[in-house]
Structure 1
């Protein structure tokens, strides 16, 4: 299945980048409301909400499950659209690697169905969103730590 990936050098130590990825109030600042219920525990489930995108079939509510993590190295979560008519079932994986005096943060968003036009449209939109909006918002959150 087509996945999307991006990376960004954060210029911040691993510990700060990890905090931004795993502290609920920080996740809610740069990613999506509802992240306040996040717990770094495999199997933990929570719900995030955002603005619905009717043109992509996105309902606006995402069921999330923590599926794996390695302290200060990797976090992987499963996202499923709450709308039963939307078959979105994605895996979002963040990897942290040292780079110079900072951290390079890698994102892989996987699980798009190449046979579903709505998912391919969502992939295109989310590719731009991860790169322009989310990574920038994460950088702003990190700058405030």
Structure 2
């Protein structure tokens, strides 16, 4: 049995700003962690996770300003979908691939769900909103 964390986050910035916040390495480091991310299918990169070190990732799917999918370690997948909503963006996030047959994976699922919902995605929303309010500064 596998599990998926899902988060629905409104961002008071247009999809273009949210996309840039997701895919620009300098901006990515401001709201989550450093990494050499790029929105190119097949791009292999690492995210520098505190306590884990360099986590290998590979971009699987890119639809500019609409969808970004990449692996996160060897078993998990992160999916980011952006949908324009009024003057902002509805961001749908999925962290999938948790193997509930393994205690360590169940524990990770239980820790990461609140982290994504309560900390990481709100930080992304704040970073994108601040950039948008400053006129992309």
The TM-score, its normalising length taken from structure 2, stands at: 0.89
* Map of 2:45 onto structure 1: 46
Secondary structure of the structure 1 residue equivalent to 2:50: coil
User: Which ranges of structure 2 fall in alignment gaps of 5 or more residues?
Assistant: 132-137
Higher relative contact order (CA 8 A, sep 6+): 2
* Map of 1:85 onto structure 2: none
Higher strand share: 2
- 1:143: Cα distance to partner? 2.8
User: Which ranges of structure 1 fall in alignment gaps of 5 or more residues?
Assistant: 53-58, 81-87
The TM-score, its normalising length taken from structure 1, stands at: 0.85
Alignment of 1:92-107 (within 5 A): 92-107=78-93
Deviations 1:89-136 (A, max 9, x none): 100000011212211000011000010110111011110000111012
Q: Which runs of 4+ in 1 moved over 3 A?
A: none
Question: Are residue 142 (structure 1) and residue 128 (structure 2) matched?
Answer: yes
Deviations 1:34-59 (A, max 9, x none): x2x2221111111112221xxxxxx3
- 1:6: Cα distance to partner? 0.6
Question: Are residue 73 (structure 1) and residue 66 (structure 2) matched?
Answer: yes
Aligned residue-pair number: 130
Provide the aligned C-alpha RMSD in A.
1.2
